[in-house]
Structure 1
Amino acid sequence: MDTRELLKKVSEGTMSVEQAEAELKDLPYKDLGYAKLDFHRKLRSGFPETVFCQGKPDAYLIQIFQTLYERNGEVLGTRASAEQYELVKTVLPETVYDPISRIIKIEKENKAKEGCIVICTGGTADIPVAEEAAQTAEFFGSSVDRVYDVGVAGLHRLLSQRERIQKANCVVAVAGMEGALGTVVAGLVENPVIAVPTSVGYGANFNGLSALLTMINSCANGISVVNIDNGYGAGYLSTQINRLAVHK
């Protein structure tokens, strides 16, 4: 329950002042000892805290998911393994898992999606990172249009999708190898472009460093760059941009 919902219950008389006071004690954050869960994240930034699952001990992960779900009614986790999903599902049966993006989530039903974010990939191998971005954006309330496998090796594929790309409030360009897709897309549209370098490629790709440097050094305007394979960061930022465009 967030602050607005709590205050509404008090004003409607469905919650006593004493109950509200008890709830408010935990509102800023919940200290689990090994984790301090930020209950005010949505109040400050518009979106609830996300769980980075990779590396977390099983018992910690379960309690973190349970606590956030009880508080927010939904929870998003990134970089989750299939084993972690099965573990969380034993205590939260509503949990769903996408093995491609490695997203684990419990989402509120009938959540409205607004605006438009287009997510492009250079190749099929970039889709896991792109899906992390797409599912993050959708979880946070954005409508996403996927335009996959439109890399610069066959530029006609990208140009044939130009109309779809230009309608977006924000475009996410996901690419490995030399990472040229972000620059090309930014040269075609007037709206912001978020470039995501991936670790896809051969030796001199240096696990995404080559694509990262290409994107950072782009001569195209209106392009920003997130870290290598950081689909979550791109999905989050694109949703912020999309939300501003929708509500301007």
Structure 2
Amino acid sequence: MSDHDMGIGLDGRQYLNAILAREAVDVSFLSPAFSAKAALTPVINSWGGNLVQSVSPSGSFAKGTANASGTDVDLFISLHPSTTYGLREIYLTLFNALRDVGYTVRKQDVSLGIRVGLIDVDLVPGKQQTPLTTDHSLYRSRADTWTKTNVQTHIDVVRAAGRQSETRIIKLWRDQNRLEFPSVYLEFVVIRALQLNFSGSLAERVWTVLRFLADNFAAVRVVDPANGSNVISDDLTLAEKLAIERAAQFSLTQQTWGSIVR
């Protein structure tokens, strides 16, 4: 199937590649992610002391799925397995430590959101479960419970899938349609939608993802590859999933890529 067959013109590949170039993210040591880490590391070390094993960029930045516009910087804080504090206490004491030094802090389920200069930063504190694994336990503030996950597994799965370009376009589409669609969930959905898809055209692959979202997306079950009992698709309500379906269905009726994503 060609771009023309999809009714959206022959310039889809050029158009989408131009968007990707515009939205390219700085990954150097002068980048926003590393600047935020440098600014926050003293605060984090003061809070956690020698229990802090590492503070590392994670999320979209580490996976190669970030866009220059509308992307938070994710920093994962790994605490030593010997940490005796409970997960709720870890989360709340970090909240207090950030607030005490002047940050306005937002509770965002497993993360704490702050603004460092012009940069939105999501801090995710986690306690390593044992020295033999990189699995971590995270506090989930919305449900006042905990979950097990592995941030490095998420990074490895997304990088190995090689769907960064398609994911970045769909993230822009999500943001421009003001949809509630967590990035981790979105990334795994794009990978699922493009399983065994060997199309040479970026436009065709993005179109395939939109068709996947438009076609009963609400019924698709997505689980955490690092923890089969963590159902990522449960993070959205049925109404939020149906909003994604409707937005994708509308996009499929458009005649130009400029009407779909910009």
> What TM bracket, shorter-length normalisation?
under 0.3
> What TM-score comes out, normalization by structure 1 length?
0.28
Q: TM-score, normalization: structure 2?
A: 0.27
| Highest RCO, 1 vs 2 (Cα 8 Å, sep ≥ 6) | 2
